[in-house]
Amino acid sequence: MKIEQKFWTKETGWSDISKEKLSVSPQWVMLFGGRQLLEEGERFKEVRAMYPESKILSCSTAGEILATRVRDNSVALAAVHFDKTTLRFVQTDINAYEESFDAGARLAGELLGDGLVHVMVFSDGLRVNGTQLVKGFNATLPPNVSVTGGLVGDGADFKKTLVGLDESGKEGKIVAVGFYGTALKVGYGSLGGWDPFGLERIITKSKNNVLYELDGQPALTLYKEYLGDRAKDLPSSGLLFPLRLRIENNGKEVEVVRTILAVSEADQSMTFAGDMPEGAHAALMKANFERLIDGASGAGSMSIEPLGSSPAELAILISCVGRKLVLKERIEEEIEAVQAEIGEQVPIVGFYSYGELCPVAATEKQCELHNQTMTITTFREE
Amino acid sequence: MNRILERQLKRFIGEATLDSMPLPWQELLTAISDTYTHSDDDRSLILRSIDIASKEFVELNKKLKSENEIIEQKVQDRTQELDYERTKLNEIAEHMATGAILLDSKGVVTFANTAAKKMLKTSDEPTIVRTLDERFPAFAIMERVKQSLDGHSSLIPEVEMDELILSVSFGSLTNESRVFGALIWLNDITAQKMLERAKDQFLAIASHEMRTPLAIIRGSAELLLGNEHVHADPEFKERVEVVEKNAVRLLDIVNDFLDVQNIDQGNIPLKIQPVDVSKILEETCNDLAHLAQEKNLFLKLTPPASPISTIHVDPYRLQQIFINLISNAVHNTQKGGITASVVDEGGFVRVLIEDTGIGISTKDQTRLFKKFETSNTFLHSREYGSGLGLYISNLLAQRMGGELKLEKSEMGVGSTFGVSFPLTPVAPAASA
């Protein structure tokens, strides 16, 4: 595997951070950038010119990650050439939350084939019910194929998110990348580091991923009370208080974290990235800086476990925008913690997201939607 | 600039303004100021959320305390109500004439009322059931208690204990179909039984004493009817015929009473032998054909579809049962008729007597086979029989290993009685 990494900022233009340039054409170019930059389309044209034969994946972000730096309104680029692995790219459009399961199942179905070992999903971050999307993948893929990925972002604006395959990016698009071959080793890990606090409430009114009431009271009123002055910054300020849900799943009680995508003053509702089932127990969560950093470090540790003693050749980091809003100036500490864990030489690229997709443990294959986590996918060819 | 940073700068580097510093220092200090401010904002947000959460906990605590007080009051009220109910039930149980013994789900006695202790002559509550079991080993008392705990009730209709005659019933204590204990009722039926016995004895003596004079009256009437002088005087002949007919009816009634007495005491000898049921049923139908003809009714015998197996009963008593059933059917049918049939059901032979008569009400059906219990609609005529026919037929069938039952009945449509006997010979049953 060979990798070339660059970034673009308004001040500096394109800058290489790789020691050597690629001598072969990469199959896959990841272009993670600010939404407005992608809308302008100039950067995509430049990248297309640099890599005329490659598949270019464009994603808008809530912050770009390249090596241990986190930037806003920049472009982070990683061009990857796999020596022994075949890649296939598929895409679909989505217009409403209700289409999420079918979209996941459709993409997974198109990728099915001999040698498929892993799938990475890059989805619109505002029009998708992440829970249903991963269910669609899980229902269609064989149990030995793992899925990771994320719901792309739009800074802290939550207005529109863009995904593109060989284009600069459009709303309502999902791209999935299939990895085929026995030489590829894939690792993944996902951890949060948030602490529940205060009273646990019961979801008394909801529909799919739209929450109306907790303990019979409007959920939006509760959030506004807790946020005080910052309520005017909803929905982004709502990320400061994600919800920990205790839900029944196949007869077992599981805990999941849900984060806000949108609010509606009209019906006092809050839209979350995943299902908010009625009857589930919900507790507000608060940030603990050290535990967030520890969470990122733990995710790094989980992600390299399956690779054994040899280091990863590439790490794709997808971390929640909520962490960025909390950690602020300290945000790069979580990337540094990951780098320290996976090895100083491992190339890192990624973005801040509106939702993360990853199995709950390194030994599991069934993908789950996560929120407020650092989610890492590592690759190595043997 | 953040106020803390501003103070620190003033303290350590004097009154220098940010604008007067070199550009890299300006950028650095702006970044530090932003960090200070964000930290303050974060701290205040956390403090605010903890403050709100604390208030919520205080409110919840108040609510819980208030609800706890309400619950405690409710528990106290309910406890008083339960105490009152318990006292009331205890008083009722203690003053009941019926003996009551309660056992828990493990079969341990938890209560026995005064009547039960008095009947069983013991004051030791825990061993009262054991006492009952030891007194009557043949009735398997402990086994019945176990069955009650499994949800099955049972009855010992009559048991003599010293000067008392008791009926003992066993039941389950259930709550939403879960058995949580057993209950034994002891009913003192001494007075009732003594009365029955005195009545039976009186009837036996009276019947016995009446039979000879009645036989003489009947015989004399029959002699008179053979006399030519009587035949010469139609009015006199008619009166003698009335005497003869009623003497016969009275003799039948007296014989029924004596039969009951004998069957009750197990004094009827049965001559069990192989019997062709079809043949006896056909003979009986032929014998009673005139009864049906007198009322313009049909009495037909449906030929069996296949040969009927031989059963082992007393043929005389079997015919007595058939006569009774067909006579009753004729008596209670005003139009249509009676159909007799016999079927071999593999292991059992069943005889059915079906009529198109008045039918038997549901209420009367429960009393049909009891002694002296005749219904208002069935056997309603005082001129007809003793009311013991079904009782006797039922006892006779049981003693010969068979079973008599009302198969179906509908008011205004008719009734069907069925009597069945097993093919395998059965030893005559003891009288109940």
Task: Give CA–CA dist A151/A269, Å, rounded.
Answer: 21
Q: Do A226 and B49 touch (CB under 8 A)?
A: yes
Q: How far apart are the CA of B58 and the nearest CA of chain A, in angstroms?
A: 11
Q: Given the structure tokens 């948030």, which residue do they identify? A: A194
Does position A170 have pLDDT exceeding 90, yes or no?
yes
**Contacts with A284 from chain B: Cβ below 8 Å:** 49, 53
B246 pLDDT band, cuts 50/70/90, is confident
Residues of chain B above pLDDT 70, percent: 94
**What is the rounded end-to-end Cα distance, in angstroms, of chain B?**
110
Question: A223, A239, A285, A286: best mutation site toward chain B, by most B Cβ within 10 Å?
Answer: A286
What integer pLDDT is reported at residue B373 of this predicted model?
56
ipTM, two decimals: 0.73
What integer pLDDT is reported at residue B390 of this predicted model?
87
Does position A216 have pLDDT exceeding 90, yes or no?
yes
Q: Do B45 and A326 touch (CB under 8 A)?
A: no
Q: What is the mean pLDDT of residues B303-319?
A: 90
Of the candidates B31, B34, B45, the beta carbon closest to that of A240 is on B45
Task: Give CA–CA dist A85/A179, Å, rounded.
Answer: 7
Whether chain B has a CB inside 8 Å of the CB on A216: the answer is no
Residue-wise pLDDT tens digits, B333-376: 999 999 999 998 878 899 999 999 998 888 888 778 776 655 44
Task: Give CA–CA dist A60/B253, Å, rounded.
Answer: 110
Decide if A119 contacts A141 (C-beta within 8 A).
yes
Does position A156 have pLDDT exceeding 70, yes or no?
yes
Q: What is the mean pLDDT of residues A287-310?
A: 92
Q: What is the mean pLDDT of residues A97-121?
A: 96
Q: How far apart are the CA of B32 and the nearest CA of chain A, in angstroms?
A: 9
Q: How far apart are the CA of B57 and the nearest CA of chain A, in angstroms?
A: 7
Whether chain A has a CB inside 8 Å of the CB on B64: the answer is no
**Contacts with A197 from chain B: Cβ below 8 Å:** 49-50, 53
Q: Do B53 and A326 touch (CB under 8 A)?
A: no
Residue-wise pLDDT tens digits, B11-20: 888 876 777 7
Residue B311 CA to its chain's centroid (Å): 32
What integer pLDDT is reported at residue B426 of this predicted model?
61
User: Which chain B residue is nearest to residue A286, measuring alpha carbons?
Assistant: B46
| Mean pLDDT over the full length of chain B | 86
Residue-wise pLDDT tens digits, B383-421: 455 567 888 898 889 888 889 999 999 999 999 999 999
A44 pLDDT band, cuts 50/70/90, is very high
Q: Do A197 and B60 touch (CB under 8 A)?
A: no
Q: If residue B340 lies in a helix (H) or strand (E), which one and from where to where?
A: strand B337-344
Whether chain B has a CB inside 8 Å of the CB on A215: the answer is no
Q: What is the mean pLDDT of residues A15-39?
A: 95
Whether chain B has a CB inside 8 Å of the CB on A198: the answer is yes
**Contacts with A286 from chain B: Cβ below 8 Å:** 46, 49
Task: Give CA–CA dist B279/B283, Å, rounded.
Answer: 6
Whether chain A has a CB inside 8 Å of the CB on B43: the answer is no
Whether chain A has a CB inside 8 Å of the CB on B42: the answer is yes
The CA-atom distances, in angstroms, between B12 and each of B4, B29, B33 are 12, 14, 16
The CA-atom distances, in angstroms, between A42 and each of A53, A172, B115 are 18, 21, 104
Q: What is the mean pLDDT of residues A211-227?
A: 93
Whether chain B has a CB inside 8 Å of the CB on A221: the answer is no
Residue-wise pLDDT tens digits, A261-276: 899 999 899 999 888 9
Phi and psi, residue B103, nearest 5°: -130, 145
Q: Which residue has the higher pLDDT, B314 or B263?
A: B314
SS3 A329: helix
Whether chain A has a CB inside 8 Å of the CB on B28: the answer is no
- Mean pLDDT lowest among A32-41, A50-59, B343-352: B343-352
Phi and psi, residue B220, nearest 5°: -65, -40
Q: How far apart are the CA of A198 and the nearest CA of chain B, in angstroms?
A: 5
What count of CB pairs under 8 Å joins A to B?
Answer: 34
**Contacts with B48 from chain A: Cβ below 8 Å:** 226, 228
β-partners of residue A147 are: A119
Residue-wise pLDDT tens digits, B27-72: 898 889 998 998 888 888 888 999 999 999 999 999 999 999 999 9
What integer pLDDT is reported at residue A360 of this predicted model?
80
User: Which chain B residue is nearest to residue A229, measuring alpha carbons?
Assistant: B45
What integer pLDDT is reported at residue B380 of this predicted model?
46
User: Which chain B residue is nearest to residue A198, measuring alpha carbons?
Assistant: B53
What integer pLDDT is reported at residue A341 of this predicted model?
96
Residue-wise pLDDT tens digits, B257-295: 787 777 777 777 888 999 999 999 999 999 999 989 999
Q: How far apart are the CA of B42 and the nearest CA of chain A, in angstroms?
A: 8
Q: Please name the amino acid found at residue A301.
A: S
Whether chain A has a CB inside 8 Å of the CB on B47: the answer is no
**Contacts with A198 from chain B: Cβ below 8 Å:** 49, 52-53, 56-57
Of the candidates A199, A226, A326, the beta carbon closest to that of B60 is on A199
Does position B200 have pLDDT exceeding 80, yes or no?
no
Does position A186 have pLDDT exceeding 70, yes or no?
yes
**Residue B291: how many other CB atoms lie within 10 Å:** 17
Does position B430 have pLDDT exceeding 60, yes or no?
no
What integer pLDDT is reported at residue B428 of this predicted model?
59
Of the candidates A199, A228, A328, the beta carbon closest to that of B56 is on A199
Question: Omega of the bond prior to A235 within 30 degrees of 0, cis?
Answer: yes
Q: Do B38 and A199 touch (CB under 8 A)?
A: no
Q: What is the mean pLDDT of residues A156-164?
A: 94
Whether chain A has a CB inside 8 Å of the CB on B60: the answer is yes
SS3 A218: strand
Does position B377 have pLDDT exceeding 60, yes or no?
no
Q: What is the mean pLDDT of residues A152-166?
A: 94
Alpha helices in chain A (DSSP H): 35-40, 42-50, 100-111, 130-140, 219-227, 289-304, 321-327, 331-342
Does position A318 have pLDDT exceeding 90, yes or no?
yes
Q: Which residue has the higher pLDDT, A28 or A96?
A: A28
Q: Do A329 and B34 touch (CB under 8 A)?
A: yes
**Contacts with B56 from chain A: Cβ below 8 Å:** 198-199
Q: Do A198 and B48 touch (CB under 8 A)?
A: no
Question: A214, A244, A289, A328: best mutation site toward chain B, by most B Cβ within 10 Å?
Answer: A328
Task: Give CA–CA dist A58/B317, Å, rounded.
Answer: 105
User: Which chain B residue is nearest to residue A223, measuring alpha carbons?
Assistant: B49
- Mean pLDDT lowest among A143-157, A225-239, A345-359: A225-239
H helix and E strand count, chain A: 8, 26
Task: Give CA–CA dist B272/A134, Å, rounded.
Answer: 84
What integer pLDDT is reported at residue B372 of this predicted model?
62
SS3 A147: strand
**Two tokens at B217?**
């009256």
**Contacts with B52 from chain A: Cβ below 8 Å:** 198, 225-226
**Contacts with A328 from chain B: Cβ below 8 Å:** 35, 38
Residue B242 CA to its chain's centroid (Å): 47
Q: How far apart are the CA of A329 and the nearest CA of chain B, in angstroms?
A: 7
Decide if B378 contacts B360 (C-beta within 8 A).
yes
Does position B327 have pLDDT exceeding 80, yes or no?
yes
Whether chain B has a CB inside 8 Å of the CB on A229: the answer is no
User: Which chain B residue is nearest to residue A283, measuring alpha carbons?
Assistant: B53
Nearest Cα residue to A163 out of A122, A210, A102: A122
Q: What is the mean pLDDT of residues A96-119?
A: 96
What integer pLDDT is reported at residue B381 of this predicted model?
45
Whether chain B has a CB inside 8 Å of the CB on A265: the answer is no
What integer pLDDT is reported at residue B385 of this predicted model?
56
Q: Which residue has the higher pLDDT, A236 or B341?
A: B341
Q: Do B56 and A198 touch (CB under 8 A)?
A: yes
Q: Please name the amino acid found at residue B60.
A: L
What pTM does this model have? 0.60
Task: Give CA–CA dist B153/B145, Å, rounded.
Answer: 9
